[in-house]
Amino acid sequence: TMFVNKKHFTSAIVGALVALSIIALVLSLVRIEDVTLPPTVKYGMVFDAGSSHTSLFVYEWDSDKENDTGVVSQNLSCDVQGQGISSYANDPAKAGDSLRECLNKAMKVVPAGKQRDVPAYLGATAGMRLLREQNSSAADQVLAEVTKTMQEYPVAFKGAQILTGEEEGAYGWITINYLLDSFTKYSPKAHMWVRPEAANIFGALDLGGASTQISFMPESSVMNWNETSKFTLYGYNYNIYTHSYLCYGQNEMLKRLAKELIAVRGELGVDHPCYPKDYNETISLSSFRTSPCTNQSDPRLILGDRNVTLEGRGNASGCLAAIKKLFNFSACGQRQDCTFDGVYQPPVRGQFIAFSAFYYNFKFLNLTKGQSLATVRETIEHFCTRSWENVRSPQWKRLPKYCANANYILTLLLDAYKFNETSWNNIFFRMKAGSADVGWTLGYMLNLTNMIPAEPPTRVKGHVPSLWAAAITFIILTLALGFAALLLLLWV
């Protein structure tokens, strides 16, 4: 009876061990299955309401990776027809209507079942900042109308607001470094997340129609702490210098340039050194009154309704000289940590991505291939003095502006921001990074949806260390139990 009992006892133990090992195996498979379940796709949309035009961006990402860097991609970009929303100050309902075409397009790319979960934002920049300065109730009405339109669509509308210049700069900086994956670095050797090297963090240079922004991570020893913003992203602190210059976007700059040239001469016909020979532009002095950048009274000029003809002279050196007069460099004295108008800026550091109008102007001039500063200067000078036979035909509409824009960009980067022959080579003129357009919109959405955690990521892209470790533990346990059962059987 002892033998029978012992045999029954061991069979029971073997049975239990086999059952346990089967359970363990099933559990480990289930956990692996968890990780490989198809993720669901999420969407978000942001309108970039700039001073001269509005664009809509639709982004998408896998829900199970949303806290990782670089996983959001751009599904759609749509250019709104017509002018920027601030141009509808006298007819605000039209600002709302202008958005419909792009909203309809977006509804076609987001599956109907997911539309109600799509966070939808509208961010307005310098054009609306200027309108608010000039007529704040008109600015409020425009925002109310675009809100009304967006609320008619079955999306999760989260607000229409005017960004500050510093927010615009910071979100551009976040967008670039998110897309270029520079925030998080996992060291497989050390099995840990390591602080990204400062040299791998990119600065951001943004040029719009009404303002321009510079954002970068300065050397901490030269930092003026009052002028930096502090962010905690993926477990690390970043102290970012960012400054936005209102009225230094390219369109406001061109208007200020025209006003200055007219004020100096005070005549009805005025030479414009930046416009091509054989090109005339008629401008009404009343147009200067529509923007706070040009509506200040000037003792040399009465802003009546007079029309003035600007006559192109195609004078490269004259153009550069006239543009430099738009900056007050003397307000900085001998200070090196100063751009113009007495604005503080630490020395530029590291690599920069120059996007929006920096890119478009240089692209037109074929200057986005990393040419040396000497080549860039020569190309611009040659372009400015070139004569254009078809300058008045409609497809050349923007051509007369490129000389002024290019010289403006050079002055801003070299004389104001103080890039030199060496650091010039650290500026990359880009429109896209990976699949997405570079701008402030992605960084804005990431921040407002809390998709950039303050803590380091919990997983390496593609697989999850903790779950894999658990699965492997289970498998080893299964094998050990099976082996023990086998030994017991043999022993009996």
Q: Which is nearer to ligand NAG, 263 or 488 (CB)?
A: 263
Out of 235, 292, 347, 482, name the contact with ligand NAG by CB under 6 A: 347
Cβ partners under 8 Å of residue 112, min gap 6? none
Helices 126-134, 136-151: axis angle to 10 degrees equals 130
Tell me the closest approach of the beta carbon of residue 280 to ligand NAG, in angstroms.
4
Q: Which is nearer to ligand NAG, 39 or 111 (CB)?
A: 39
With binding defined as CB under 6 A, does residue 198 bind ligand NAG?
Answer: no
30-38, 194-202, 292-300, 342-350 -> range binding ligand NAG (CB under 6 A): 342-350
**Phi, psi of 376, deg, nearest 5:** -60, -45
Tell me the closest approach of the beta carbon of residue 97 to ligand NAG, in angstroms.
27
Cβ(341)–Cβ(417) under 8 Å?
no
Out of 282, 334, 336, 395, name the contact with ligand NAG by CB under 6 A: 282
Distance CA 372, CA 365 (A): 14
Using CA atoms, how far residue 27 sits from 309, 362, 462, in Å, is 81, 58, 21
With binding defined as CB under 6 A, does residue 285 bind ligand NAG?
Answer: no
In the block, residue with structure tokens 């500063």? 373
**Phi, psi of 64, deg, nearest 5:** -85, 0
Out of 235, 318, 350, 456, name the contact with ligand NAG by CB under 6 A: 318
According to DSSP, residue 82 is labeled S
Cβ(70)–Cβ(177) under 8 Å?
no
Is 168 tagged catalytic?
yes
Torsion of CA 353, 360, 134, 295, to 10 degrees: 110
Site string for ligand NAG, 432-461 (x = CB under 6 A): ---------------x-----x--------
Distance CA 310, CA 428 (A): 34
Q: Which is nearer to ligand NAG, 11 or 317 (CB)?
A: 317
36-44, 62-70, 154-162, 484-492 -> range binding ligand NAG (CB under 6 A): 62-70
Catalytic residue numbers read 168
- Return residues touching ligand NAG (CB under 6 A): 64, 66-67, 167, 170, 231, 269, 273, 278, 280, 282, 284, 305-307, 309, 311, 315, 317-318, 321, 328, 330-331, 342, 347-348, 364-366, 383, 420-423, 447, 453
